[in-house]
Chains A and B, each alone.
Chain A
Amino acid sequence: MSARKLGLKQRYALMTRGLDWETTYQPMEEVYPYDRFEGIKIRDWSEWEDPFRLTMDSYWKFQAEKERKLYAVLDSFAQSNGQTGISDPRYINAIKLFITGVSPLEYQAHRGFAFTGRHLRGVGPRVAAQMQSLDELRHAQTQIHTISHYNKFFNGMAEWPHMHDRVWYLSVPKSFFDDARTAGPFEFMIAIGFAFEYVLTNLLFVPFMSGAAYNGDLATVTFGFSAQSDESRHMTLGIEVIKFLLEQHPDNLPIVQKWVDKWFWRGHRVLGLVAMMMDYMLPKKVMSWKEAWEIYFTEAGGALFQDLARYGLRPPKYADVATAEAEHISHQNWCTFYQYTHAAAFHTWLPTAQEMDWLSEKYPNTFDKYYRPRYEMWAQMEKDGHRFYNMALPQLCTTCQIPMVYTEPGDPTTIAFRQSMYKNERYHFCSDGCKDIFDAEPEKFAQSWLPVHQIFQGNCGGATVPDVLDWYKLKVGEDNLDFGQSPDRKTWDEWQASKSRLAG
Chain B
Amino acid sequence: MAQFASLTLQQTDAARPIIEAIIADNPGVRVLNMPGAVKLDCDGKLTVNRASVEQRIGRTWDPQEIHLVLISMAGNLDEDDDHFTIAWRH
Contact of A65 (CB < 8 Å), options: B2, B10, B68: B68
Closest to B67 in A: A62
| Chain A positions 205-239 with a Cβ under 8 Å from a chain B Cβ | 205-207, 209-214, 221, 225, 228-229, 231-233, 235-236, 239
Contact A206 B8 (CB under 8 A): yes
Bound-state CA distance A66–B68 (Å) is 6
| Chain B positions 55-90 with a Cβ under 8 Å from a chain A Cβ | 64-65, 67-81, 88
Question: Number of B interface residues, CB 8 Å?
Answer: 32
B5-37 vs A: 1/0 string, CB under 8 Å?
Answer: 110101000000000000000000000101111
Contact A210 B81 (CB under 8 A): no
Q: Which residues of B contact A58 (CB under 8 A)?
A: 64
Please list 20 pairs of residues, one from A and one from B, whose beta carbons are closer than 8 Å in the complex, sorted by A's number. Answer: A7-B80, A8-B81, A51-B78, A51-B79, A53-B79, A54-B67, A62-B64, A206-B34, A206-B37, A206-B71, A206-B72, A209-B71, A210-B37, A213-B37, A214-B35, A232-B71, A300-B6, A303-B2, A303-B5, A303-B74
**Pairs of residues from A and B, 10 with the lowest C-beta to C-beta distance, nearest first:** A213-B36, A214-B35, A303-B3, A51-B77, A210-B34, A213-B35, A228-B71, A62-B67, A300-B74, A8-B81
Does more than half of chain B's interface fall in helix, strand or loop, or is it mixed? strand
Contact B67 A307 (CB under 8 A): no
Contact A9 B80 (CB under 8 A): yes
On A, residues with C-beta under 8 Å from B are 7-9, 51-54, 58, 62, 65-66, 69, 202, 205-207, 209-214, 221, 225, 228-229, 231-233, 235-236, 239, 286-287, 295, 299-300, 302-304, 306-307
Contact B4 A229 (CB under 8 A): no
Contact B35 A210 (CB under 8 A): yes
Q: Which residues of A contact B78 (CB under 8 A)?
A: 51
**CB-CB under 8 A for A303 and B4, given A229-B69, A235-B72:** yes
Contact B88 A229 (CB under 8 A): no
Q: Which residues of B contact A210 (CB under 8 A)?
A: 34-37
Contact B72 A302 (CB under 8 A): no
Contact A235 B1 (CB under 8 A): no
Contact B64 A306 (CB under 8 A): no
Contact B73 A307 (CB under 8 A): no
